[in-house]
């Protein structure tokens, strides 16, 4: 059985907070107590075992709201999530040295702040996105001033990785089958949309639902123009992130195909968000569910829970647990900040902890060292009530932004 403890916030703070771990730092607890005071929370807040301090709201939290949405809870990497695909290849069919595969992917998929020199996505992908985006920017022209070369940039960034904790990996499962897995979101335009509406919410009156304990928890009330505009924009960014991962997967397969024996993609393919908001039915009522660092784990619904660089990852199937609002963790979760990891660990530590994995081992990615993250096995043990493991994956190659 997994762990569940309840911060019974009802008397002092507001709604209860159900937490699926005992490993919660005090800063995160303070943040959760503030979130629990919001009067538009439906039933309770669920907190996943990879919980850690976040900007705006706690990472690993599932926040069901009635008649309101908190833009900062969704965050600025709107639609960030995972894509994984199993190939018809076995471990022994991979080359002994994977550096050529990593180099081929890095040549094909821009990382960090880079983008494609020309638009790679098909017109059939771009046209509907472009049409919907124009409706958004016509109402909010300031968005176009927040991103250089706005119209070309968002199109050239489809099929790009980004930086931070985003990655592309080759993995092996328990049967020695080869998987391609990646983690990315809505890139520069998603960031612009998130930033713009977070600041807009902070400037709007916050009196419809009583006291707001933190400016970062500023909301849009359903029925207002801002609410409708934000929901339209956030849905667009989520769709963009989904298409970004699809295009990236296509480019990765195109890059590695000449270097490997002939292969096919299997039917096991998953593309899921873990920073997003959508309407769902819970405890008999339709609510807006914001998952900030959590994935949906409805009954028999497949998801991806990655570990840190050099650790295990998991393909999982949801159990539809109502107390978690049909959710589970989105990864291992950070144990420390990026700056603390850089101060605490050296390049040599990174080399030691990623031994046997073809990946960057320079100072620029020390903040992504496995020790900066929680133990993925412990995280998984704490959510056996939420998901069952279908495949256990081990990274053999990793591309970082």
Contact of 292 with 51, CB cutoff 8 Å: no
Dihedral angle of Cα 378, 399, 339, 244, to the nearest 10 degrees:
-90
Non-local (6+) Cβ contacts of 11 within 8 A are none
To the question of whether residue 333 is assigned a binding role by annotation, the answer is yes
Give me 75's structure tokens: 């965050």
The DSSP result for 117-162, as a single string, is SS--S-HHHHHHHHHHHHHHHHH-GGGGGSSTTHHHHHHHTTT---
To the question of whether residue 207 is assigned a binding role by annotation, the answer is no
To the question of whether residue 267 is assigned a binding role by annotation, the answer is no
To the question of whether residue 325 is assigned a binding role by annotation, the answer is no
To the question of whether residue 313 is assigned a binding role by annotation, the answer is yes
Beta bridge partners of 85: 180, 269
Distance from the Cα of residue 349 to its chain's centroid: 26
To the question of whether residue 169 is assigned a binding role by annotation, the answer is yes
Backbone angles phi, psi at 103, to 5 degrees: -65, -40
3-state secondary structure of 75: coil
What are the distances in angstroms from CA 281 to CA 44, 269, 322, 326, 376? 14, 26, 10, 10, 30
Which position among 42, 116, 330, 391 bears the catalytic label? 330
Query: Do strands 45-52 and 17-19 pair parallel, antiparallel, or not at all (unpaired)?
Result: parallel
3-state secondary structure of 201: helix
To the question of whether residue 48 is assigned a binding role by annotation, the answer is no
To the question of whether residue 374 is assigned a binding role by annotation, the answer is no
Give me 46's structure tokens: 């669920």
To the question of whether residue 345 is assigned a binding role by annotation, the answer is no
Give me 221's structure tokens: 């009330």
Question: What distance in Å separates the CA atoms of residue 338 and residue 334, rounded to the nearest whole number?
Answer: 9
To the question of whether residue 71 is assigned a binding role by annotation, the answer is no
Give me 250's structure tokens: 């296509």
To the question of whether residue 165 is assigned a binding role by annotation, the answer is yes
To the question of whether residue 307 is assigned a binding role by annotation, the answer is yes
Question: What distance in Å separates the CA atoms of residue 301 and residue 285, rounded to the nearest whole number?
Answer: 21
Give me 111's structure tokens: 């990382």
To the question of whether residue 184 is assigned a binding role by annotation, the answer is no
To the question of whether residue 380 is assigned a binding role by annotation, the answer is no
352-372 burial: b if 16+ Cβ within 10 Å, else e = ebbeebbbbbeeebbbbbbeb
Question: What distance in Å separates the CA atoms of residue 322 and residue 298, rounded to the nearest whole number?
Answer: 9
To the question of whether residue 274 is assigned a binding role by annotation, the answer is yes
3-state secondary structure of 84: strand
To the question of whether residue 175 is assigned a binding role by annotation, the answer is no
Active site residue 52: no
To the question of whether residue 265 is assigned a binding role by annotation, the answer is no
| Catalytic site positions | 330
Q: Which residues are annotated as a binding site for GMP?
A: 165-169, 274-275, 306-309, 313, 330-333, 400
Q: Which residues are annotated as a binding site?
A: 77, 165-169, 183, 274-275, 306-309, 313, 330-333, 400
Q: Which residues are annotated as a binding site for Mn(2+)?
A: 77, 166, 183, 274
């Amino acid at each position: 059985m997994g762990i569940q403890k309840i911060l019974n916030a009802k008397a002092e703070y507001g709604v209860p907070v159900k937490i699926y771990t005992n490993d919660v730092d005090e800063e995160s607890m303070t943040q959760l107590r503030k979130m629990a005071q919001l009067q538009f929370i439906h039933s309770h807040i669920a907190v996943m075992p990879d919980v850690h301090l976040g900007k705006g709201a706690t990472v690993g939290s599932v926040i069901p709201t009635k008649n309101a949405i908190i833009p900062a809870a969704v965050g600025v990497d709107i639609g960030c999530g995972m894509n994984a695909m199993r190939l018809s290849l076995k471990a022994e069919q991979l080359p002994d040295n994977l550096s050529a595969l990593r180099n081929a992917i890095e040549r094909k998929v821009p990382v960090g702040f880079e983008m494609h020199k020309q638009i790679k996505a098909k017109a059939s992908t771009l046209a509907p996105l472009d049409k919907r985006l124009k409706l958004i920017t016509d109402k909010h022209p300031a968005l176009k001033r927040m991103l250089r070369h706005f119209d070309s940039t968002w199109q050239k960034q489809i099929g790009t990785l980004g930086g931070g904790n985003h990655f592309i990996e080759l993995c092996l499962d328990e049967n020695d089958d080869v998987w391609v897995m990646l983690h990315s979101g809505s890139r520069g335009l998603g960031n612009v949309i998130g930033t713009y509406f977070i600041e807009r919410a902070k400037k709007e009156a916050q009196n419809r639902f009583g006291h707001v304990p933190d400016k970062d928890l500023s909301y849009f009330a359903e029925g207002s123009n801002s609410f409708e505009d934000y929901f339209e924009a956030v849905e667009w960014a989520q769709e963009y992130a989904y298409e970004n991962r699809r295009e990236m997967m296509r480019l990765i397969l195109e890059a590695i195909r000449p270097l490997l024996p002939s292969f096919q993609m299997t039917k096991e393919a998953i593309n899921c968000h873990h920073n997003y908001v959508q309407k769902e039915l819970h405890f008999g009522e339709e609510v807006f569910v914001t998952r900030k660092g959590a994935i949906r784990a409805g009954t028999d619904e497949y998801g991806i829970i990655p570990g840190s660089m050099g650790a295990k990852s998991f393909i999982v199937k949801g159990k539809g647990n109502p107390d978690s609002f049909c959710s589970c963790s989105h990864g291992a979760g950070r144990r420390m900040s990026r700056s603390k990891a850089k101060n605490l660990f050296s390049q040599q530590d990174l080399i030691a902890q990623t031994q046997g994995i073809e990946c960057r081992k320079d100072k620029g990615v020390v903040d992504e060292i496995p020790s900066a993250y929680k133990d993925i096995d412990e995280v998984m043990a704490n959510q056996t009530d939420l998901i069952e493991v279908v495949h256990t994956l081990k990274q053999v190659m990793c591309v970082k932004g």
